[in-house]
Chains A and B, each alone.
Chain A
Amino acid sequence: MDTALKTAPATTTQEIRTITGSQALCEAMIQEGVKTIFGYPGGAIMPIYDALYGYEDKLEHILVRHEQGGIHAAQGYARTSGRTGVVFATSGPGATNLVTGLADAMIDSTPLVCITGQVFAHLLGTDAFQETDVINITTPVTKWNYQITDATEIPEILAKAFYIAGSGRPGPVLIDITKNAQLQAFEYKGYKPCHHIRSYRPKPVVRKSYVEEAARLINEAERPFVIFGQGVILGGAEQEFKAFIEKAGIPAAWTILGLSALSTDHPLNVGMLGMHGNYGPNVLTNECDVLIAIGMRFDDRVTGRLDKYAKQAKVIHLDIDPAEIDKNIKATVPVWGDCKETLPMLTALVQQKAYPKWLDKFRECTKREDEAVFQGELHPTTPILSMGEVIDTLNHITDGNAIIVTDVGQHQMVACRYAKFNQSRSNVTSGGLGTMGFALPAAIGAKFGAPDREVVAVIGDGGFQMTLQELGTIMQSGVKVKIIILNNNFLGMVRQWQELFHDRRYSSVDIQSPDFVALAAAYGISGQSVSDRPLLKPALEAMINHDGSYLLEVMVGKENNVFPMVPQGCGVAEIRLK
């Protein structure tokens, strides 16, 4: 390797100097304010890692144990910090290992810039060692992607990448850089951030007339209902959102990605939407007269059967992405735009109101759900622990101040249903893709993104085994994450469906696990396993008070089910309490 390349970082001044493509990439990272990169080296990205060696004091690189872990960590980082997550991976298998994370980030609108190494440009298309067509593999799961074969393109393309990833409806961007471009020296003219692309309009123009029509519908409503999603968080519009619902006096329910945008104990927060959401928000969706959807996309897990969804209601849809309007649910009034801008406009036009009778209906529903579900879940009478009481006990210890990162399955639904949050950007979960294995690496990234906050990962025994190699990343980086494994000895969510819809034919859901505590110990991570109620609270306290990472395994009921549930193919009002 050319050692002359391993010089000090290039300066950021406008003076023209000769640097390599790899150095230009590092410069771009610094100019974009990147501090942490999650990645894994390999042949086709070695010049970039070589340059990184010279930037060690400015760019922290976290060596993960698998590129999927790297990209999920970057997602966790982006979700808690609000900044763009960055991932490096080599060509071929390194790049293909990113695909799950790209798909996850794409569907959950998470801003990422992924850099993949690629074989020399002259080898493209020759089936060279570790060559894959990364651009075409990743096209459907990226907001934008681009292959660089010439170093002079690096500053401009990187600027575009960061601009596209973070603006408008955010998403993952992948830049594939051939090895010759990484090595190539060129005259570096400095870095100019990108603020405009001719063909790209990050936000649609706000139409005042639509906002006025929306306000009019809201002012004339008798039973208005707000449903909100991650758009509120992505737009940084939590305050604007709260001001709007408080003035208009409208009850509000959240999608799983909208969770934590509004504190869970806010009097107008009526709970969770969708398949395992709360009873009231689901049933009353079909009783409201005006449905106001804010930064959410009417996912099928939220709507259930579309032809039985809110048929009686006029629908106001606020979204930054015009393609979401009318996609699943026809909007009576579309309010295009960034809700950070449109919500204050709407707030100015709506009347100060309250709907005590309408709100009472939600309370009645909560009462029914309490009797049918909450009591059994939070205060079980059996000696075996339930997932709900673990989360409930955790709430008391953290006071709703922790970031909770969940994996996918029953534990995810239970955690999202019962966790208390009083700050935004506190709930990190794989919503749209439902990626098992997400939580452990995402929790690592979440902690790097919000180092001053407590990060607790809640993971199933199945999902933990999908990415448990990232315990190595925890060990080596020293990042402090708290891990709760809710062990029901089953692929619980699939088992629940088999019980309810497949005559209890438990096909391949009986999963065996290693000794998780011993496994953690092998990585130098403290932990314990509990199964007795009196030990639960002390164990959770020990976990939170421990200075360092900690793994707590909680043995929970094997065949507990998550209720309520809107069975697939049913309308939201057909929600089952048991």
Chain B
Amino acid sequence: MKQEYTITVYTENQVGLLNRIAIMFSRRKINIESLNTSPSEVEGIHRFTIVINETEDVVRKLVRQIEKQVDVLKAYYNTNDEIIWQELALYKVPTDEIAEKVKVERLLREHGARAVVIRKDYTIFETSGHREETDKLISVLEPVGLIEFVRSARVAIIKESRGFHEKLKEFEETEPHPSTRENEYLDQGENVFVM
């Protein structure tokens, strides 16, 4: 079954790596729904957050191929319930319109939004949240002449993650951590080998 997966890739910061990673998706005709690059908490280590809609089988194989790239330290994939994620959205609306027609204060409170810029001609609101939440504010602002809307890529943190410091140590250690998931049969432990 296809569902949303968030792929987190830790890399050495290299020019050209974005292309190397992006073409792994396009080669397989997989659409990237969202892609974000940012530094991580570890000096010199970059982090890509990529969202795709795929089956787990496809995602697992893909993540292994990504991890195989020389400049990639580690790649993970998670379903939405395994992560905390946010997207940031900006909305530009005509100031006079909203001043007239909308209870701005309530609007801001209900949507966790804030005004970033207020000018005579337009106002820019900002909010962050899941897609449905940022979408909802569009539907509210559209009737009052939404001029421009933009949403950022997803940024996500894996709930279980102990941070990458720990993982990096594990990666550089000689023995893989016992929790490292490597094989779906062996991970079922005892059951498999009863013949």
Query: A residues bordering B, Cβ < 8 Å?
Result: 135-136, 139-140, 143-147, 164, 197-201, 204-205, 207, 210, 213, 216-217, 220, 321-323, 325-327, 330-334, 336
Contact = CB atoms under 8 A, between A and B. Distances in A.
A72 B192 CA distance: 45
Contacts of A323: 61, 64-65, 67-68
Interface stretch (B16-24, B29-37, B145-153): B16-24
A213 B23 CA distance: 37
B11 A139 contact: no
Closest 7 CB pairs of A and B: A323-B64, A199-B73, A144-B70, A199-B12, A200-B70, A323-B68, A334-B183
Contacts of B160: none
Contacts of A135: 16
A199 B71 contact: yes
B182 to A, nearest CB: 7
Nearest to B16: A135
A115 B19 CA distance: 21
Contacts of A139: 16, 19-20, 23
Interface in B139-195: 171-172, 174-176, 182-186, 192-193, 195
A467 B75 CA distance: 42
Contacts of B72: 199
A207 B174 CA distance: 10
B126 to A, nearest CB: 34
Nearest to B15: A147
Most chain A CB atoms below 10 A, which of B61, B70, B186: B70
Given A145-B16, A323-B64, A327-B61, 17 more contacts: A136-B16, A139-B20, A139-B23, A140-B23, A144-B70, A164-B70, A199-B12, A204-B176, A205-B174, A210-B186, A213-B186, A323-B65, A323-B68, A325-B183, A327-B64, A330-B184, A334-B182
Contacts of B171: 201
A208 to B, nearest CB: 10
Interface string B47-62: 0000000000000110
A332 B183 CA distance: 8
Most chain B CB atoms below 10 A, which of A201, A325, A336: A201
Contact of B70 (A136, A197, A204, A217): A197
Contacts of B67: 322-323
Contacts of B174: 205
B16 A330 contact: no
Contacts of B136: none
B175 A205 contact: yes
A326 B61 contact: yes
Contacts, number: 74
Contact of A213 (B12, B64, B71, B193): B193
Interface of B is mostly: mixed
Nearest to B72: A199
Interface of B: 11-12, 15-16, 19-20, 23, 27, 60-61, 64-65, 67-68, 70-73, 171-172, 174-176, 182-186, 192-193, 195
B117 to A, nearest CB: 34
A333 B186 contact: yes
Contacts of B70: 143-144, 164, 197, 199-200
A220 B193 CA distance: 11
B166 to A, nearest CB: 16
Contacts of B176: 204-205, 207
Contacts of B183: 325-326, 331, 333-334
B186 to A, nearest CB: 7
Contacts of A145: 16
B27 A332 contact: no
A301 to B, nearest CB: 19
Contacts of B193: 213, 216-217
A578 B117 CA distance: 78
A299 to B, nearest CB: 15
Given A164-B70, A205-B176, A334 B186 contact: yes
Contacts of A207: 176, 182
Contacts of A333: 183, 185-186
A210 B183 CA distance: 10
B1 to A, nearest CB: 18
A331 B11 CA distance: 28
Contacts of A330: 184-185
A143 B71 CA distance: 10
Nearest to A135: B16
B16 A220 contact: no
A140 B19 CA distance: 9
Given A139-B20, A322-B68, A330-B185, A199 B11 contact: yes
Contacts of B16: 135-136, 139, 145-147
Nearest to A333: B186
Nearest to A323: B64
13 contacts: A139-B20, A147-B15, A198-B73, A199-B11, A200-B70, A204-B176, A205-B175, A207-B176, A207-B182, A213-B193, A321-B68, A327-B61, A330-B184
A213 B172 CA distance: 26
A451 to B, nearest CB: 32
B188 to A, nearest CB: 11
Contacts of B64: 322-323, 325, 327
A163 to B, nearest CB: 10
Nearest to A289: B195
Contacts of A336: 182
Contacts of B195: 220
Nearest to B71: A199
Contacts of A199: 11-12, 70-73
A332 B185 contact: yes
Contacts of B182: 207, 322, 325, 334, 336
A443 B65 CA distance: 32
A147 B70 CA distance: 15
Nearest to B173: A205
